[in-house]
Structure 1
Amino acid sequence: MPAYKRVLVAIDLTEEAPQVLDKAKAVCEAHHAELMLMHVVEPVGYAYGGDIPMDLSELQDQLDKAAREQLHTYGSRYGVAAERQVVTVGRPESEIHRVSQEFGVDLVVVGSHGRKGFQLLLGSTANGVLHGTECDVLAVRIH
């Protein structure tokens, strides 16, 4: 088993996040690795297909601020310093790939709902992260 030095855990800030964080923390403790937290805020325009004739920047800023506050709460609870907490805006898979490369991450930890068949192939963020990340990926099954 490779020794991990830097572990990035990408969470969705739901009540399921602690399941993923607990597993990531255990891996970090076993490997004496540094834990990083990440959350990706999807652009508001995505939800509306980009066809809304209004400025959504204020709403986007509010979502970004709320995500930073929630991530900071998890950071405090899991002992992760502010400089190792990342909130970005974009597509989760591509942002996780970018940040993992930028910070030299050895392992990415994401949650997975354990869907089967086509749902897993077509819709899973975990699957998207797996295909395109250069480091190891641990998908934690959400119960």
Structure 2
Amino acid sequence: MYKTILCAIEASTEGKQVLAKAAEMAELYGSKLIVMHVLPYKLLPKDYQKELKDKISPKIEELCAGFNVPKKNRIIKVGKPYELICNEGIKRKADLIMLGTHSKKGIQALIGSTANGVANYADCDVSLVRIAKSSK
């Protein structure tokens, strides 16, 4: 059903939960899995953007390696998350975009601004993965 799945994650345990669901879905459908992380900064000098990418890259690589995502299918960008995710979905001909959502209060908090933007502007199916609350 899905040939290409774009999974947008954060470098966190929540991101790992989303990636686990996406990897499960990719295995189920025999899909190519692409993982994307967006640093939500707009007006930063290019050298500082590179520094931020270099800092987050090992964390994303570690998450992806645990799910056998090849390096060519790992993307880190800087900018407006929902726009970059939607554009990458078009560029990579994604059939499905998966990303996490948090359950708090109100519609914006319920799905988050990035998830809301992707859900409204993506050119393909969008699956929101509810992040399990950590037990404290």
Query: With structure 1 as the length reference, what TM-score do the two structures score?
Result: 0.83
Residue number in structure 2 paired with 1:52: none
Q: Where do residues 81-96 of structure 1 align in structure 2 (5 Å cutoff)?
A: 81-96=70-85
- Evaluate the alpha carbon distance shift between residue 37 and residue 122 of structure 1 in structure 2; reply closer, same or farther with a 3 A threshold: closer
Picking from 36, 39, 49, the partner of 2:37 is 39
Q: How many residues align?
A: 132
SS in 1 for 2:66: helix
SS at match of 1:114: coil
Tell me the distance in 2 between the aligned counterparts of 1:70 and 1:44.
Answer: 21
Alpha-carbon distance between aligned partners in 1 of 2:42 and 2:82, rounded to the nearest angstrom: 17
Partner of 1:104: 93
Task: Mark the runs of 5 or more structure 2 residues left unpaired by the alignment.
Answer: none
Gaps of 5+ in 1: 47-55
User: Residues of 2 paired with 1:31 and 1:123: CA distance?
Assistant: 27
Query: Deviations 1:95-130 (Å, cap 9, x if unpaired)?
Result: 001100000000000000023424348952111110
In the alignment, the residues of structure 2 paired with residue 90 and residue 44 of structure 1 have an alpha-carbon distance, to the nearest angstrom, of 5
Opposite residue 29 of structure 1, the aligned amino acid is E
Deviates more, 1:87-96 or 1:114-123: 114-123
Paired residue secondary structure (2:10): coil
Larger radius of gyration: 1
CA distance in 2, matches of 1:101, 1:127: 17
Alignment root-mean-square deviation, CA:
1.9
- Asked if the contact 2:8–2:35 (Cα under 8 Å) also holds between the matched residues in 1, the reply is yes
Identity between Structure 1 and Structure 2 (%): 33
2:20 to 4, 22, 29: 22
8 Å contact kept, 1:39–1:67: no
- Cα gap change, 1:136 to 1:87, in 2 (>3 Å): same
Question: Contact conserved, 1:120 with 1:127, CA < 8 A, in 2?
Answer: no
Give a deviation string over 1:35-84, Cα, whole Å, max 9, x none.
110001122647xxxxxxxxx44432221112222221122111011111
8 A Cα contact 1:36 1:84, kept in partner: yes
Q: Distance in 2 between matches of 1:58 and 1:141?
A: 35
